[in-house]
Amino acid sequence: MRHFLLEFITGGGLSGQALPETLIKEGEIMIQTLLFELIEAGYSDIALSRDKRLASWEHKVKQYIIRESLEEEIHEHISQSDVAWLIAPETGDCLARLAELFIRQGSVFVGSSPEAIRVASSKLLTCSLLAEANIKVVDTRTLDNDIPASETGWIIKPNDGVGGESCYFINDKKRLAEIIAEKKNNNFVMQPFINGRHMSMSLLVFDDAVQLLACNEQHVDIKDEVVSLSAIGVNECLFLRDEMMCLATKIVSKISGFAGYVGVDMIEANNELYVLEINPRFTTAYAGLSESLGFNITKKILDTFLQKTLPEIDLTAAIPIRINI
């Protein structure tokens, strides 16, 4: 069984563009985890794409060096695979467009439907749909809308951004007006800043059923208006597993088409969970799941797609694992 792996940042998706150090690091963490855990699970016929500017892997895997256009060069590689894995950003419809390509070319695509990806790629649309289902969300608005009331400041970020990419914290209304004027034509959104605990949950989804994999804490830094993620505490928030499982079930029942690994970012404040965004792809927390849970999570994900059923996963024995970024 041949596996083809594409991690967009390290796999040639930014050919001809700058390679951001932070995104390279997170991309390397995720692709390394996927590769090593497939090998550990007994798979040896593995191929992946690699940006020509990055060092090649030393492991015995087929590596396709991307020199010009990623999408033009990977068609054949996907079609020759039995299982195709995709890690890519939502920005600019990238993840959904590549998912469509993988579905057309590959035999088994480990990922969500393009329709679900496009819903989750928009923070505005995601929050609107979840609010309809009476799920608590952070008030999310376009920059040409009224400024949401806040005594603690505001967050400005891309509507389809990933991680902390171009994410700003502003606590002065005059400065906020300047940022709005600067970003108003760039598909940015604004949210009131909520003083609370930054969290995420890792989910395994298939056929509109969901299994909770981890209750994570996100360690966030704010410096000179820039918001960045410094570490992920995988399963550091297990005390909220019942609440997170309930929330996950509501989300999956409202938005159909998620499959495989899905991450959900949240804020916990006043004993309530507020959804910030949904990531229909691997997130950095994935890299700590196997160590936290005590088994190979990549094999569990693959078996879900091959056997077309979700595994039962018990979090009672999970241990917290810190991933520094």
Domains and CATH numbers, the chain: 3-110 (3.40.50.11770), 148-192 (no CATH), 195-324 (3.30.470.20)
Cα–Cα distance for residue pair 244/268, rounded to 1 Å: 11
Alpha carbon separation from 209 to 73, 132, 134, 178, 308 (Å, rounded): 35, 20, 19, 44, 11
The answer to whether 80 and 4 have CB atoms below 8 angstroms apart is yes
Q: Is the dihedral of CA 92, 204, 140, 240 positive or negative?
A: negative
Q: What is the pLDDT of residues 211-255, one digit of tens each?
A: 999 999 999 999 989 888 899 999 999 999 999 999 999 999 999
Q: Which two tokens stand for residue 232?
A: 């992920």
Q: What is the pLDDT of residues 84-103, one digit of tens each?
A: 999 999 999 999 999 999 99
pLDDT score, position 68: 83
pLDDT score, position 185: 82
Query: Which distant-in-sequence residues (6+ apart) come within 8 Å of 52 by Cβ?
Result: 12, 15, 65, 66, 67
- 196: confidence class by pLDDT, cuts 50, 70, 90: very high
pLDDT score, position 163: 60
The mean pLDDT value of the chain amounts to 94
Q: What is the pLDDT of residues 127-182, one digit of tens each?
A: 999 999 999 999 999 999 999 999 999 999 999 977 656 899 999 999 999 999 99
pLDDT score, position 184: 84
Q: What is the pLDDT of residues 268-308, one digit of tens each?
A: 999 999 999 999 999 999 999 999 999 999 999 999 999 99
Q: What is the pLDDT of residues 17-74, one digit of tens each?
A: 998 888 899 999 999 999 999 999 999 999 999 999 999 888 789 999 998 889 888 8
Three-state DSSP string of 193-244: CCCCEEEEEEEEEECCEEEEEEEEEEEEEEECCEEEEEEEEECCCHHHHHHH
pTM for this model (two decimals): 0.94
pLDDT score, position 165: 66
Average pLDDT over residues 193-219: 97
Residues facing 261 on adjacent strands: 204
The answer to whether 287 and 30 have CB atoms below 8 angstroms apart is yes
- 262: confidence class by pLDDT, cuts 50, 70, 90: very high
Higher pLDDT, 75 or 163: 75
Q: What is the pLDDT of residues 95-126, one digit of tens each?
A: 999 999 999 987 899 999 999 999 999 999 99
The answer to whether 83 and 2 have CB atoms below 8 angstroms apart is yes
Torsions phi, psi of 163, nearest 5? 55, -135
The answer to whether 202 and 286 have CB atoms below 8 angstroms apart is yes
pLDDT score, position 164: 59
Cα–Cα distance for residue pair 272/250, rounded to 1 Å: 15
% of the chain at pLDDT higher than 90: 85
